């Protein structure tokens, strides 16, 4: 009994050590971590802490998903930038409307858009931006990248502690990349019998397909007054567990 307890303690300690080595810091006692207003999604992350030091991969297939993903990324970036942070948004054919970002808690004048002309400059520009630790977050819109390239970005992030959000719009193949988390955000239709007219708050099906050392899942969320909340109707609520490393 006693040895079993010791063993489980040992395993727990080893696990936290491994997490620390992989760039996740355990929530220190008394230190309040940014919860990003993500609510139920936080449970998916190792030890319930949003992995700041890492690349997050977002995949979208259609124009609607792209818009939803942009909004979700903007909301996340807004949480990371707080009051005085800065964001660099790298892409080639940008359709993001800076004015629209203000609804997601981002002051658009704090976002520096890098609109590159050539695709081959993308990776280099994202890496350069990630190296600059004066930034809070870097958003990169890139279609294809392979494991080696993403590993390079991940290493840069671990060095500089700048969070990277990679948005892959309709990639040819969703090959595994060295990201801590793979997200898929799709728009959700509003509640059918709503009393109030109009389209209401942004609603998304937030799906974490892969998360390193965490539990993937899927949640219907609504972005309301700067926080993410579970939508009131849990009809589409569907959490599945799959073993994905």
By CB under 8 A, name the binding residues for other proteins: 62-64, 66-68, 70-72, 74, 83-84, 86, 88, 95-104, 107-118, 121, 124-125, 128-129, 131-135, 186-190, 194, 197-200, 202-204, 223
Closest separation between CB of residue 72 and other proteins, Å? Answer: 7
> Residue 205, SS3?
strand
Within 13 Å and on the Cβ side, how many CA atoms surround 118? 3
Closest separation between CB of residue 40 and other proteins, Å? Answer: 19
Closest separation between CB of residue 212 and other proteins, Å? Answer: 26
List CB contacts of 77: < 8 A, sequence separation 6 or more: 87, 106, 111, 136, 137, 139, 165
> Residue 50: what are its φ and ψ, rounded to 5°?
-65, 125
Closest separation between CB of residue 215 and other proteins, Å? Answer: 25
Q: Which structure tokens are listed for 147? A: 């494991």
- C-alpha distances out from residue 31 to 7, 25, 48, 207, Å: 28, 12, 14, 28
Residue 71's H or E segment, with its range, is: helix 63-81
User: Residue 19 or 87: which CB sits closer to other proteins?
Assistant: 87
Residue among 98, 152, 154, 145 at smallest CA distance from 122: 145
User: Residue 19 or 67: which CB sits closer to other proteins?
Assistant: 67
User: Residue 10 or 132: which CB sits closer to other proteins?
Assistant: 132
User: Residue 23 or 100: which CB sits closer to other proteins?
Assistant: 100
- Count other Cβ atoms within 10 Å, centred on residue 217: 19
User: Residue 46 or 160: which CB sits closer to other proteins?
Assistant: 160
Closest separation between CB of residue 53 and other proteins, Å? Answer: 19
Closest separation between CB of residue 203 and other proteins, Å? Answer: 7
Distance in angstroms (rounded) separating the CA atoms of residues 222 and 215? 21
User: Residue 32 or 117: which CB sits closer to other proteins?
Assistant: 117
Query: How far from the centroid of its chain's Cα atoms is residue 93's Cα?
Result: 21
């Amino acid at each position: 009994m006693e040895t079993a307890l010791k063993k489980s303690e040992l395993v727990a300690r080893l696990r936290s050590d491994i997490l620390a080595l992989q760039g996740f810091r355990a929530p220190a006692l008394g230190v309040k971590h940014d919860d990003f207003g993500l609510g139920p999604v936080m449970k998916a992350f190792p030890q319930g802490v949003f992995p700041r030091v890492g690349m997050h991969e977002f995949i979208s297939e259609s124009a609607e998903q792209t818009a939803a993903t942009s909004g979700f990324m903007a909301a996340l970036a807004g949480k990371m930038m707080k009051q005085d942070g800065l964001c660099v948004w790298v892409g080639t054919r940008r359709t993001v409307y800076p004015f629209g970002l203000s609804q997601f808690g981002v002051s658009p004048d704090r976002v520096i858009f890098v609109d590159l002309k050539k695709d081959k400059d993308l990776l280099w520009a994202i890496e350069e931006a990630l190296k600059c630790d004066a930034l809070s977050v870097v958003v990169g819109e890139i279609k294809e990248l392979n494991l080696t390239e993403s590993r390079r970005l991940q290493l840069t992030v671990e060095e500089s502690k700048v969070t990277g959000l990679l948005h892959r719009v309709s990639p040819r193949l969703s090959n595994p990349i060295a990201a801590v988390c793979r997200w898929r955000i799709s728009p959700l239709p509003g509640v059918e019998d709503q009393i109030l007219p109009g389209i209401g708050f942004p609603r998304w099906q937030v799906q974490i397909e892969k998360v390193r050392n965490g539990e993937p899942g899927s949640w219907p969320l609504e972005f309301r007054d700067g926080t993410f909340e579970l939508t009131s109707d849990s009809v589409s609520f569907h959490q599945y567990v799959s073993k994905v490393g």
